[in-house]
Amino acid sequence: QVQLVESGGGLVQPGGSLRLSCVASGSIDSLAVMGWYRQAPGKQRELVALISAYATPTYTISVKGRFTISRNNAENTVYLQMNSLKLEDIGVYYCNLFQGRDNYWGQGTQVTVSS
């Protein structure tokens, strides 16, 4: 079993920054892919960024150049540094871990961008 706990969400002004953290615990495979998804109000959950076991990142086009995903395998953590936040970034952000045939999800952390 794997458990994920996110933190770091909050309220920021447009152009501000937030750093999300996700700590994984349990039986984590060495090949696990971790990532961040978000769900904006009235929209379906969408991929924000993925990072492989080799620390190779992938981003959705809308956040490329503004967000940075990273991981620390020794600490079983994944981070999402979010800069230049826009209203379009509002939503609940979920940490995800995929290994074998299983997807694991965190509880979500709210990101609000408001002037």
Distance, CA of 104 to CA of 19 (rounded, Å): 21
Report CA-CA distances (Å) from 96 to 38, 88, 105: 10, 21, 5
- Give pLDDT, residue 74: 85
Residue 87 is which amino acid? L
Q: What is the pLDDT of residue 75?
A: 87
Which class for 109: exposed (0-12), middle (13-18), buried (19 or more C-beta within 10 A)?
A: buried
- What's the pLDDT score for residue 73? 83
What's the CA gap between 60 and 106, in Å, rounded?
20
pLDDT tens for the chain, 115 residues long, are: 899 999 999 999 999 999 999 999 999 998 999 999 999 999 999 999 999 988 899 999 999 999 999 999 888 999 999 999 999 999 999 999 999 999 999 999 999 999 9
Residue 112 to residue 96: CA distance in whole angstroms:
20
